[in-house]
Amino acid sequence: MLRYSCINTDIKIIGEENGLNLEEEFNNYSAKIADIIRGLNQRKDKPGEWLQWMNLGYNEETVWYVKEFASLVEGRFDNILVLGIGGSTLGGLAVTEAVLKPYWNLLTKEQRNNYPRIFFLDNIDPDSINGILEILDLKKTLVNVITKSGDTAETMSQFMVIKDLMEKTLGDDYRKNIIATTDKKMGILRQLADQEGYKIFYVPDDIGGRFSVFSSIGLVPFALVGLDIEKIINGIKDIDLELKNTDIHQNIAAQGALIHYLMDTKKGKNITVLMPYSSRLKYIPDWYVQLIAESLGKAYNRDGEKVNTGLTPVKAVGASDQHTKLQLLNEGPNDKLTTFIRVGEFDSTINIPKIFEYTGIGYLGGNTLNNLMDAEADSTRVSLADYQRPSITITIDRIDEYHIAQLLYMLEVQTAITGELYNINTFDQPGVEQVKNYVYALMGRAGFEGSANSLQEKMTTV
């Protein structure tokens, strides 16, 4: 289970000007929060509500199907190459980086228990694509192309480049080295995969990219590198029960949502910093950035009023970022709410040897890197409070499939509740779609000629 502390957002710790009277606010909002949680759970199966991610903890059929495929291909590939962008890759990257052994791709096959290396091609940078192609033997690579919509320009162009090379390298057999994860009915990838005979995994309806990490979008790559996807599902199932609790005093996602909302609307703190004290968790803030930015950055509320809401998400990793961002967090504008993620127990313990005792660093000897990490996190938390800066601390017992799934799922629920408090549609992304359409127009996609002309014109002035 997750341990949660929001005391450092309270007036008792950080004062009237910057803190919230938590007891009072929880009581004031308890009915509204209960309504929101009830509402989300009532609407979750309704088509068009984009809440199917709330059912992913109960998706035993997909888990079975994915595990069966993973065991069929076990031992056949040295590499998994994931093609995608945004919500189609960020969750996969965050979870594999956290749960797999550190430096996974640099380990020997034996050290990886014969599971493949995994690479995420989450951009279209020609240099890095060339770079990865120099590393990978395509004959021993399983490509997982992931796009929910089935036609995102970045992903499909990555795919066209790689597919062409695979065909040249493997001949007709290349099809056995490609799997597609996409929508059941719509999209070009769906059609192509059928025509070409690739193995397909479907993304359930009504799940947006940033809420899709526990659908087949994440589960397939996880299973292919040996993660226990049943533990993932169990983690979500267990925490989902707690997060269905309509009592804000018992529901940490609701508390986090209300605190973020009130810190913005009452205290002018509209920047949300996510700061894990663990290098293995370093991509979780990247995933969180998308979750928060796309979900809460909206022009209009549900009543059609122009609101331009949004929290600005910021990534930090402890202890490293104590030496980059901490000065700003402590002494810059008091407009941020920091969420620390702590790890109860690291997999390893490293003793700092008792050497150089006669020097100024002698005091470190006899400690462990583990208690140094704890001291760093505690010091940062206390020092933020000294400067009257609010923070929340979430502690996971250890880094594994179960706890990471709980953490990410809790942040998803927190975001959904936050969106309801702002009275916005958390699950659309018109601002992203607009740029996707501009790119289609500029790249000559049929049907976008009109916007291409007006875009060309605008580009000369803007």
Contact status, residue 388 vs residue 332, Cβ threshold 8 Å: no
With contact defined as beta carbons under 8 Å apart, do 84 and 118 qualify? no
Asked about 323 being catalytic, the answer comes back as yes
Mode of pairing for the β-strands spanning 117-121 and 79-83: parallel
Identity of the residue, 183 or 401, whose beta carbon is nearer to ligand PA5 in the bound complex: 183
| Dist. CA 143–CA 163, nearest whole Å | 9
Residue 293 C-beta: closest distance to ligand PA5, Å: 10
Segment contacting ligand PA5 (CB under 6 A): 12-20, 107-115, 122-130, 149-157?
A: 149-157
419 binds ligand PA5 (CB under 6 A): no
Q: Can residue 149 be called a binding residue for ligand PA5 (CB under 6 A)?
A: yes
Is residue 208 a contact residue for ligand PA5 (CB under 6 A)?
yes
429 binds ligand PA5 (CB under 6 A): yes
- Is 436 tagged catalytic? yes
Percentages helix, strand, coil for the chain, rounded to the nearest 5? Answer: 55, 15, 30
Cβ proximity to ligand PA5, 209 vs 310, nearer residue: 209
Q: Name which of 55 and 383 has its Cβ closer to ligand PA5.
A: 55
Instruction: Name the burial class of residue 355, with classes exposed (0-12), middle (13-18) and buried (19+) by CB atoms within 10 angstroms of its CB.
Output: exposed
Question: Is 66 near ligand PA5 (CB under 6 A)?
Answer: no
Identified binder of ligand PA5 from the candidate list 18, 88, 144, 338, rule CB under 6 A: 88
Output the DSSP codes for 384-412.
HHHTT--EEEEEESSSSHHHHHHHHHHHH
Assess 215 for contact with ligand PA5 (CB under 6 A): no
Select the residue interacting with ligand PA5 from 190, 210, 325, 403 (CB under 6 A).
Answer: 210
Q: Which of 112, 117, 148, 342 contacts ligand PA5 by CB under 6 A?
A: 148
- For tokens 């331009």, the residue is 308
Among 147, 251, 339, 415, the residue binding ligand PA5 under the rule CB under 6 A is: 147
Instruction: Identify the bridge partners of residue 143 per DSSP, sorted by sequence position.
Output: 81, 178
**Do the Cβ atoms of 199 and 220 come closer than 8 Å?**
no
Q: How far apart, in whole angstroms, are the C-alpha atoms of residue 334 and residue 346? A: 32
Q: Report the relative pairing of strands 2-5 and 391-396 from DSSP bridges.
A: antiparallel
Least Å distance, CB 427 to ligand PA5, is: 9
Length of the chain: 462
- Candidate list 81, 85, 143, 408; residue touching ligand PA5; CB under 6 A: 85
- CB count in 10 Å sphere of residue 386: 11
Q: Which span sits near ligand PA5 by CB under 6 A: 3-11, 160-168, 208-216, 351-359?
A: 208-216
CA atoms within 13 A on the CB side of 99: 27
Per CB under 6 A, 8 contacts ligand PA5: no
CB atoms within 10 A of CB 297: 17
Q: Determine which one of 67, 176, 282, 436 is catalytic.
A: 436
312 Cβ contact partners less than 8 Å away, ≥ 6 residues apart: 270, 271, 272, 293
How many residues sit close enough to ligand PA5 to count as binding (CB under 6 A)? 15
| 86 lines the binding site for ligand PA5 (CB under 6 A) | yes
Chain center to CA of 273: 14
The rounded distance, in Å, linking the Cα atoms of 390 and 336 is: 7
- Note whether 152 binds ligand PA5 by CB under 6 A: yes
Q: Which is nearer to ligand PA5, 86 or 218 (CB)?
A: 86
Which positions from 288 to 317 touch ligand PA5 by CB under 6 A, shown as an x/- string?
A: ------x-----------------------
| Selected catalytic residue, list 25, 97, 154, 294 | 294
Identify whether the C-beta of residue 404 lies closer than 8 Å to the C-beta of residue 351.
Answer: no
CA angle 368/369/375 to nearest 5° reads 95
Q: Which range of residues in 2-10, 147-155, 243-251, 276-284 is near ligand PA5 by CB under 6 A?
A: 147-155
Site string for ligand PA5, 254-293 (x = CB under 6 A): ----------------------------------------
Backbone angles phi, psi at 107, to 5 degrees: -80, 160
Smallest gap from Cβ 152 to ligand PA5, in A, equals 3
Q: Is 412 in the site for ligand PA5 (CB under 6 A)?
A: no
218 forms part of the interface with ligand PA5 (CB under 6 A): no
CB of 150 to ligand PA5, least distance (A): 7
Please, which residue, 89 or 395, has the CB nearer to ligand PA5? 89
Residue 10, burial from CB neighbour count under 10 angstroms (0-12, 13-18, 19+): middle
Given the rule CB under 6 A, which of 73-81, 204-212, 312-320, 344-352 is the region that contacts ligand PA5? 204-212
61: tokens are 């059929």
Q: Which is nearer to ligand PA5, 6 or 80 (CB)?
A: 80
Q: Which spans of this chain sit near ligand PA5 (rule: CB under 6 A)?
A: 85-88, 147-149, 152, 155, 208-210, 294, 429, 432
Residues labelled catalytic: 294, 323, 436
